[in-house]
Chain A
Amino acid sequence: MAEICVKDLHKNYRVHVKPAGLGASVKSLFNRKYKDVRAVDGISFDIEPGEMVGFLGPNGAGKTTTLKMLSGLIFPTSGSVSVMGFVPWERKNEYRRQFALLMGQKNQLWWDLPASESFRLHKEIYNIEDKSFRTVLGDLTELLDVKSLLDQPVRELSLGERMKMELIAALLHSPRVLFLDEPTIGLDVVAQTNIRNCLKQYNQERQVTIILTSHYMRDIEALCDRVLVIDHGHLVHDGSLQDITARFSTHKLLLLRFQNGQMPERPEEFGEVVELTPPRLTLRIPREQVPSCVSHILDSYDVDDISIEDPSIEDVISALFNQTAKRTRDEGVVAETVDG
């Protein structure tokens, strides 16, 4: 049976509409206007035990709202969710002992105390046995290289160090299911890599099911074999990250540097001009036209350097988002979203 099973999940928010201005504010005191916002609009998917799945989507796509429903923070408007056989929003203690939600922008450690105190508190809250507590804590502090910082007040730690401590707090009770919302947000590259490696190793060793949202495509690339793309509350892609590239990168990028500043006079004849800073030119060319285009340019001009690249995964994803946004508009579907 799937570890996480989501069927036709909907979440509408009723938000208070208040136009700007003092007059409007006074008016809205007496006549409140509301509108329904569909944050999540009919999402279904299954996740097997031990899978590590990435949630992708622009801001306000419904990622966080979905994670909140999966962790039981909010009720859905309709649809069903089963996580490890539990209905999350019933908030049974057996369920709460077996999962963790880590939000990159929220902290759960005690600010004025060393992290070790917060960990001890977690041990009691989650009924963690002494032995397991010591092993897990030992493993994680080593993996993240924070052993020496355990007894320092959390407020004195850097953002990256604090995030590592937050991650440890989330993993202490050995959750079977882990929801991570932007776990690497605001971290430098070294700390990001650290946390990424830790998650990878943890997932492999313990077969923990992980759902991860991130704006850093590298997180997703490094960790997730499967990606769910959510946009405007809809699931628009469920498959591997490579599939997205294959599906949407119909073009290639041609990067050129010309000798002696001899540039083509009308570069747009060859393809879409992405960047033009003499002597460099970057063109976006449909895949099938790449060979003919390259030979033409090489015949006609003195070229210093040439390379052909796939568009970055970020570009592919943003193209995907634009496409769905356009389709949604074309179909005239009202699907405004909020990220609550």
Chain B
Amino acid sequence: MGKYFVVFRVALAERLVYRADFFLSTFLRFIPIVTTILLWRAIYDGANQTEIGGLQYKQMVSYYLLIMIVRAFGSMPKLASGIALAIREGELRKYILQPIDYLTYLLSLRFAHKLVYFVMSAIPYTIIFWMCSDYLPGWPSPTMFCMSILTLSMTFYIGFAINSLIGLLGFWFLEVASFIHAFMTLQYFLSGHMFPLSLLPKSIEKIVTWLPFAYETYYPTLILLQKVNVEEAMRIVAIQFVWGSIVAGLCLFTWKRGLHQYSAFGG
């Protein structure tokens, strides 16, 4: 385990090289939210309803704010494309030659990236959430707080597994950029990032809320929003774990198959 801790430490140092980038990009991320919130204001006014998709206006605003937190755990910028690039450009070689496990190595890197991100973006997040405190639910009970931590960890797990899996397709396809793009679009829609999944027609909602994407973003956001009780939260976390493990299993399988293919034909 020692070596992966050092990977983590070295990656921390590397990330800090780009610290100025963080402040800016964190603030910029909130700009699209402002337009979304204004749009929903107009929708609520026009519809003359206090509740849409089971959410009041204030809850809708907090949904979009809290989804930023969930995405901060689940999004894995450049993970999939990085793996595909490593396969294509031959950087993968060094992980085959060295006594180190590539996927564990990537996981250590990602821990470091996330930690730096959270530390760096703590200030902008605090400012924005303080400004919007009227819209947000109050502090959760200790149990719900623990559930929030758990669900966010599971979001990280699922996000890491799904993105790695997409990246590993690079073993079979030279160019996975279009895959990644299609996948991101699909995920934006299916995960509830675009709008709460409860707005979907019931029949579609049933299918979509069953997929891993919903468990990556939508359900964890509901927990943070305190729209579910403790029992439901526990069920969500359990299903998250199952989905994460299924995708992680697929990932390991793909890695083994891909490596075999790579060794036989490429290098």
Contact = CB atoms under 8 A, between A and B. Distances in A.
Interface of A: 13-14, 65, 68, 71-75, 89, 91, 93, 96-97, 100-101, 103, 106, 108, 110, 112-113, 117-118, 120-121, 123-127, 153, 340
Contacts of A89: 263
Contact of A73 (B7, B93, B100): B93
Contact of A112 (B5, B17, B98): B17
A124 B3 contact: yes
Contacts of B98: 96, 125-126
A117 B94 contact: no
B94 to A, nearest CB: 5
B267 A110 contact: no
B10 A74 contact: no
Contact of A120 (B10, B93, B263): B10
Interface string B75-111: 0000000000000001101101111100000000000
B96 A121 contact: no
Interface string B254-267: 00000000111111
Contacts of B100: 125
Contacts of B263: 73-75, 89
B94 A108 contact: yes
Interface centre among B2, B5, B94, B97 (most CB of A within 10 A): B97
A106 B93 contact: yes
Given A73-B97, A117-B10, A117-B14, 19 more contacts: A13-B265, A14-B265, A65-B267, A68-B267, A72-B96, A73-B267, A74-B264, A91-B96, A100-B97, A103-B93, A106-B91, A108-B94, A110-B14, A113-B17, A121-B6, A123-B6, A125-B3, A126-B99, A340-B266
Nearest to A74: B267
B10 A121 contact: yes
Nearest to B91: A106
Interface of B: 2-3, 5-7, 10, 13-14, 17, 90-91, 93-94, 96-100, 262-267
B52 to A, nearest CB: 47
10 contacts: A13-B265, A72-B96, A96-B97, A106-B90, A117-B10, A121-B3, A124-B3, A125-B3, A125-B6, A340-B267
A119 to B, nearest CB: 10
A108 B98 CA distance: 11
Contacts of B5: 124
Contacts of A112: 14, 17
Q: Which 5 A-B pairs have CB atoms at the shortest separation, nearest pair first? A: A74-B267, A124-B3, A124-B6, A93-B99, A96-B99
B48 to A, nearest CB: 55
A113 B13 contact: yes
A338 to B, nearest CB: 11
A173 B127 CA distance: 48
Residue from A68, A97, A100 with most neighbouring chain B CB atoms (10 Å) = A68
Nearest to A153: B17
Nearest to A93: B99
Query: Interface on chain A toward B: helix, strand, loop, or mixed SS?
Result: mixed
Nearest to B262: A74
Contacts of A97: 99
B267 A124 contact: no
A100 B93 CA distance: 12
Contacts of A103: 93
A121 B265 contact: no
Nearest to B5: A124
A101 B263 CA distance: 16
Contacts of A117: 10, 13-14
B267 A121 contact: no
Nearest to A11: B267
Q: Which of A65, A75, A123 has the most CB of B within 10 A?
A: A75
Contacts of A127: 3, 99
Contacts of B3: 121, 124-125, 127
A91 B101 CA distance: 11
A100 B98 CA distance: 8
Contacts of B97: 71-73, 96, 100-101
A13 to B, nearest CB: 7
A329 to B, nearest CB: 28
Contacts of A65: 267
Contacts of A118: 10
B185 to A, nearest CB: 25
A159 to B, nearest CB: 18
Nearest to A98: B99
Contacts of A113: 10, 13-14, 17
